[in-house]
Structure formats: C-alpha cells, structure tokens
Structure 1
Amino acid sequence: MASRTPLNATGVMLALAAACLITPAAAQAQTTGSIDPSGQTRFVHPDMAPEVIARAEANFPNCIRGMWPEAQARGVSRQTFERYTSRLQPDMRIMTFLDSQPEFSKPVGDYVNMLVTEFRVKKGREVLERYKPIFDQVEKAYGVDRYAVAAIWGIESTYGDPKGTGSRSVLTSTATLACIGRRQDYFRGEFLATLQILQSGDVPNDHLTGSWAGAFGPTQFMPTSFQQFAVDFDGDGKRDVVTSIPDIIASTANNLKLDGWQFGKTWGYEVVLPNGFDYRLARRELKQPIAKWASLGITRPGGRAFPRGADEAYLLLPAGGDGPGFLMVENFDVIRKYNPADAYALAIGHLADRLRGGGSFAQAWPKEARGLSRGERVEIQQRLTQKGYDVGNPDGIIGTQTRVAIQQFQARAGLRADGYPNTRLLDALRR
C-alpha cells in the first residue's frame, strides 16, 4: 500500500496491507497498559477505550463539519464538501482492524510464504509479458525496476483481483478514522486528501473503494500518496490508479523513484552467518560496505560472490538467529517507505527476484507457533522498562531502540543477543 503505508487487498486478508501506509512514526501515540499477576497484558490505547469510542462516534457529524476550513484551504469547494459529507456515517466495524495488521503480528516466514506463492509468480510473469510495452516505457521514464513494480502490484492485489483491492468506501473509511480511534491525526490528512481527489475528478467516488484504511487501486495508494505520486501516463487528463494500467504502473514507479530507488541495484542479499557471529552487529543503524561484512565471515548461500563490495548495507535478521539473514541495501529501505514493515518489504523484494527468474530462499524459516500480539509487544517493552532498559514509549512497535534494549537484556541473561522478540523472550522477561 503506498504508504505512509497500510493494508491491501491481499491485504484485507493481510489486514489490508494498505494500512501499512501508516508509518511507525505516525503511530507514536501514548498507550496505556498494565501487567497483571498472571503475566498477561491488559492493554488499551486511551483513544480506543469503549467510552471514548462512544463519545467520538456521537460527535462524528461535528468532527466532519469542523474540517471544512482545512478542506477549503486545500482547494475543496463548499459544494463538493457538502455533497460528500452531509450524509456521511461512520463505519464502526473498522475499529477491529486497527491493531491486527499481519505484517507486524504474523511470524515473518509465514507472512512471506503466504504472499510469495507460485501462483503470484506465474501470474506476475504473465502480466509483465502482457504489458511489456508499458513496462518498457515506464522503466525508461522513471528508472525503476519493472520487477519491483510488478511485485507491489501482485502482493497488494494479486494483479488487480477485485477481491484483493477491497470494497469499502475510501471516503467513509478515512472519515471514520479521522474522527474515531487512535489514528485520528494521520487519517485526518487522508480524509482531506480524499476530498481533494473528488474535487479534481481524477477518480470518481464509485471507484474510490478499497481497504479499511483507505488504500485503493491495484497497487493500493493511500489518498495522500496518490496526491504526491500519481501521474497521468496515458495522457487522458486523469490520474487514474484504479482502471488505467499505464497510470497504475507509472504511478507506482514514480512513488519508488521519488522515494530514492537506485536503478540497476538489488534490494538485498540472503546471507549465511559464520559460527560464533556477534548478533549485536545486526542493527539497522550499522551500515558498512558489503566487503566489510564479508571480512567478518558473512557469505552468500552457495558461495556466490557479492557483485558490489563497496555498497553500504546493514544486517537484518527478520526471524532472529534461527532464520535466514540478509544484507540490506538502499532499495530495501525504499520499499519500506511504501510500507514500513520489514516483512512486507522482504516479500516485495523476494517476489521481484522470483519474477526475474530467481529461486526460493536457501535457508528455512523457523517454525513458530504464532506471532506476538500488539499487547504482548507492549508487555515486552514495559518489562524491559521495568528492568531499566530504555525503549522509549511502549507503543507495541519494535523499532531500533526496542531491539537494542532486547539485545542488551539477552546478552546479560546469557541468551543469544539477536534482538528478536518472540514468546521465548517474553517468557524470559516474565521470570
């Protein structure tokens, strides 16, 4: 989902990866929670408490009316505003999706395997051949790898399958989330951007349907991302990322280009770590030349050479020390701007490689019974804080600060310091 990234179509299944469009930074709202004697987390975000939700629902009409000045400042006419908001009603079913995004809560290996399927590979190659002239033109115009664009298209909606793109009104979804729940500041901008799209006429309201988070079209653009990245590549005067194949492909490529895509380079390399490796080096902020990593004993499966030893990379262990490792270069972080979950970016990169003829990962993913719930991730952060480690605000997002704290705890507890949050770590913290 072109983020500033959520949940899509596959995504609805994926909890609609479009919501991924929501950056971790945007989710830094204050949270509350406590750990009871049984060791379970009682976690409630202040804006998600039942009484707060009820008040916000009752205030919905006032909230919408109160956004008129901002809409007007963005070029929305009074006629357009009244036409699309006078009868709006919130969709309260959306509240159940806010904390259930699979790219954050599902084990990484399960998530990647769920998305990078033989069907998507076969379908993607057919799409690349069918629209080859368009991909040729777009790749020349924007300097973005066609396989990355096709991978986003495939993972977000299985190449435009209506079941994958979502059927909820983008206007209703963004309006609901702009006035109710824990993401109001973020979705206020998405709602206003939706009104701008309707004002411009680029996409009619009956085509503005998508995920619960408001992502729409085969590559799942959020309204603000549409405003920033969508292009009229077919020259019909409309930026139509719903029904125009040229606009869909070119707009997705433009998104990646403006986010910093480096043409001719990969997203990363699967790697094998040597025995006795210091897992504390697996930190996003530790970037160094690939040649330096190789000097530490890191190799590619099968002993293949790294093509560009001078490229800066960081080591990512998405499933901890039990799973495959990866050296990630700049294009991986570009994909993460589309959707900030490592699991999502890894699935996109892997599907792109499969589409160009590559094989499966050489190393197996660990068998995990389940991923951690948001409440359990908050509990890990709270217990680390209680033990004197600095994780920042306990928000359920396992970012760099939390991973460093996990590594510090693991090292002091005699555990492998891979920074990976799982049920074993939680059990160790509870003891």
Structure 2
Amino acid sequence: MRAGLVLVTGLALLFGGAVAASVTESPRPQLRPGSGAVSAAVVISVDVPVRSLRPRARPDVADGARVALASGNTGFDRWIAGFRARAASAGIRGDVFDRAFQGVRYDPEVVAKDRNQSEFKREIWDYLDAAISPKRVEDGRAALRRHRRVLNRIEAHYGVEKEIVTAVWGMESTYGTRLGDLPLVQSLATLAYDGRRGAFFEKQLIAAMQILQSGDVNPRDMKGSWAGAMGHTQFIPTSYLAYAVDFTGDGRRDVWSDDPTDALASTAAYLKRFGWRKGMPWGVEVRVPRGASFGNTSRMPSDWASRGVVGTDGRAVRDYGSARILQPAGPAGASFMVFANFDVIKRYNNADAYALGVGHLADRIAGGPPIQASWPRGYDPLSFDERKEMQRRLKRKGFAVEKIDGIVGPNTVAAIRAFQRSVGAEADGLPSQQLLSLLRRS
C-alpha cells in the first residue's frame, strides 16, 4: 500500500464535533435581543432531566393524547412503546413524545447507510483534493463576504477567527447547501432500534426530545443527516444541547433555518469552549531536513528552526506556542507544524485529516496559497477541471456518476472501477491521467 494516512469516512466525518465531545453543565454567553449586552445562558446536560430554558412548545395534540403508531414494523412499534416510558423517565412530556413520533416509520435505508459507511477509504491527498476543491474555496470566500458582518460579530464575541468558522461550515454542509433533509426523530429511532449502537443513538434521541420540548424547533423542521447531525454545522443533539447558542436573541437556538447565524455562533462557542486561541494558527506548512525523525515531540518554533525546520519561505516560524511536526503521508509528503488550535479543531471531529482540511480551507478562504509540497500519490493526478471531465465522460458512457463536481467520492470511485473492468484495465479506482487518457480513447 502507498505511504499515507488512510481515512475511513463514517460517523466521525458526519457528526461535526459531537461524537467525542464530553457533555457538561456550564454557563455560556448569550446576546440579549436587541442589545449588545451579554447575559448568562445555562448549558443543558443531557445526562439528567432538566427544566427547559425555552418557552414550552405549543402542542398540536392535547396533553395525554396518544398518537397511534403505524410504522409497518411491529417490532419497531413495540420498541417505540417501550422507549416512550424511558423518555418519560428522562423528563420528556407525553405530548412532546407523541408529536415527535407522529408518522415515524422504520427506515431501512438509514440502517443500510450505517452498515456501509466504512467501505470507502481515501488517502490524505484524495481527501484534501475534495475538501479544498477550487469550488469550495471560491464558495467559501463568497460566503464570508455575504455574512461578513455577522461573522465579524461572532469573532469579536468568541475570539474565533471568521475564516475558521466559515471553513467548518464549508466542511460540514458545503455552506448550508447540504443540511440533510431526513426526519431526525425517524432516523435516530431507526438506529436506536437497530441496536448496533443502540445506546448511543437512544441517548441522541432523548436529547432530540429535549430540544423539541424546549421549543427551539418543531418536529416538522427537525431534519438532518441519516446519522442525526443537524443544521449548518452538523451538531448532533447532545452537542446541540451542550453548546448551541441563541446569537440572534430571538429566544431559539435555530441551526436549521436559512439564516446561519445561530449555527455559526454555536460553532465558535464550541471551539472557544475547548480552548481556541485567537491569533495562533492551526498550523503552518514547513520544510524539514531530509531523514529527520520527529515522533510526537513538541517544541517552540524557534527551537524547531535551530533543528532545520522552517517555513516554506525558508524562515523560522513565529513563536506562537509549542508545536509538533505532522507528516500525514510520511516524510515523502507535506509536513506541517501544528499548534494547540489544531487539536481544538479535532474536538469537532477527531481526525488529523479533518483538522488539516478545516485549517487549510480557512487559510485558502483568507487568500493563502495551496499546499506547496507534493504527495506520494503513486499516480499522475488530475486537475480539478480534468476530474470534472473524467466524471462527464464516465456519465456519458453510462456509468453511475451522480454529480459533475470534480470531487472524487465513493460514487465516482465505483464508476471508475466499473469502467476499468469494462475495458479490461486494473480496477484501482484512481483518478489518474492514465484513466483520463483511456476514457478519451474508448
């Protein structure tokens, strides 16, 4: 296998920062409606029943009325009936539960996605090609310009740079264009009933009930990904309860609507909670001496410079703080000096590749250059426009390519392999110059 970090796409890449986040009870700052003053908003822990901080949602059915279940799956119906009692013991009112579960059915497609999520693996360079595509950079700059005023307010309030917040938004929902449109309660209930990670998803479902009970959203609008991630920056319910903020001051923490303000502020609040330091970079690309070995040692940049580790401009990196050297593809690929803020990004999603993607996308949105070093790909790569040409040619030949977007995801890899098998070539699935030449000739 070629040198490099193998990334398994799955829950960690869908969940925002929610999977590994510890959920605690702590005060969070919140803006009062119509003023610049700051007041305290208590963050809810999902581990114990609590009184809602939000106005009670107005029920569609009278308290005590039971919604008849008709999911088409008797085992699922029995599970819902048992879960209703567990939800009640966690403080969920009966009317809230019944409204949430009205029309809920077992969704086998959600289970299929959960089962198949780990099949697609990408090397670090393929992951970054998709994460930092020219279109994502361009769209990120446009999103920052469009929302600059509110992003400046969020940066001033939480001390998290607007480019970082915008980059998380881009990575999680492509700047709000892919929020997820599945009924959240139905997806979570299906996964909790399925049982493979039932305890985790039942905890998320209880948290979703608490969100509904608080009045932040109604069941009709509570939508998300198949795995339960919600809104512009893809919080799962427990993280939403712990870290979401009402930055607009309208009494709701609304991460679902067309206005991304609350979602972006919630992301900044989350990063600040885990120690983000304004003015410190997440990391910088560096040059390292040939044959050097670094391990997990942390040093000040000036100390690294005395050992021959310098920026791509040949000068010592500023002493922003202690840093370690990260070589995600080994010594043959790019090297980065990463600071404490890199690990804060990993609290949002605990993967080096994700943190690299967010950090580098933020740099590109701010006008920074692409990564300078080459990757040990083992093949001649395609440019962004060539990847789109490859997708167009595959689709024209009848192979199942969903989008002509230059992003080589599992769907495109499957189409590449199918084409390669059809012409008797090695089915390596690589988006290479050799593949494009073969497509042009056939």
Relative contact order, CA 8 A, sep 6+: which one is greater? 1
Q: Secondary structure at the match of 1:215?
A: coil
State the TM-score, normalized to the length of structure 2. Answer: 0.67
Q: Secondary structure at the match of 1:297?
A: coil
Q: 1:18 is matched with which residue?
A: 14
Unaligned segments of structure 2, at least 5 residues:
1-7, 23-72, 380-442
Q: 2:363 is matched with which residue?
A: 353
- In 1, the alpha carbon distance for the partners of 2:317 and 2:116 equals 38
Distance 1:65 1:289, change over 3 A: farther
Distance 1:137 1:19, change over 3 A: closer
Residues 27-426 of structure 1: matches in 2 within 5 Å? 59-85=75-101, 87-98=103-114, 105-161=121-177, 164-243=178-257, 244-278=259-293, 281-283=294-296, 286-308=297-319, 311-367=321-377
Distance 1:20 1:226, change over 3 A: closer
CA positional deviation for 1:134: 0.8
Q: 1:411 is matched with which residue?
A: none
Q: Secondary structure at the match of 2:208?
A: helix
Distance 1:265 1:93, change over 3 A: same
- In 1, the alpha carbon distance for the partners of 2:275 and 2:120 equals 24
Distance 1:233 1:19, change over 3 A: closer
Distance 1:305 1:295, change over 3 A: closer
CA positional deviation for 1:100: 5.2
CA positional deviation for 1:90: 2.4
The answer to whether the 8 Å contact 1:15/1:97 transfers is: no
Distance 1:25 1:217, change over 3 A: closer
CA positional deviation for 1:124: 1.6
**Amino acid aligned to 1:127:** A
Distance 1:304 1:99, change over 3 A: farther
Count of equivalent residues: 321
Distance 1:304 1:95, change over 3 A: farther
- In 1, the alpha carbon distance for the partners of 2:203 and 2:309 equals 44
- In 1, the alpha carbon distance for the partners of 2:113 and 2:359 equals 26
Structure in which a larger fraction of residues adopt helix: 1
* Cα deviation code 1:163-206 (max 9, x no counterpart): x2222121112112222243222222111111111111212222
Q: Secondary structure at the match of 1:106?
A: strand
- In 1, the alpha carbon distance for the partners of 2:378 and 2:79 equals 43
- In 2, the alpha carbon distance for the partners of 1:176 and 1:139 equals 38
The answer to whether the 8 Å contact 2:305/2:316 transfers is: no
**Amino acid aligned to 2:223:** T
* Cα deviation code 1:377-405 (max 9, x no counterpart): xxxxxxxxxxxxxxxxxxxxxxxxxxxxx
> Percent same amino acid among aligned pairs?
40
Structure whose alpha-carbon radius of gyration is higher: 2
CA positional deviation for 1:85: 3.0
State the TM-score, normalized to the length of structure 1. Answer: 0.68
- In 2, the alpha carbon distance for the partners of 1:127 and 1:22 equals 24
**Amino acid aligned to 1:150:** T
Distance 1:145 1:25, change over 3 A: closer
**Amino acid aligned to 1:94:** V
Q: Secondary structure at the match of 2:252?
A: coil
The answer to whether the 8 Å contact 1:336/1:342 transfers is: yes
Q: 2:416 is matched with which residue?
A: none
CA positional deviation for 1:263: 1.0
* Cα deviation code 1:262-293 (max 9, x no counterpart): 11111011122211212xx333xx33333333
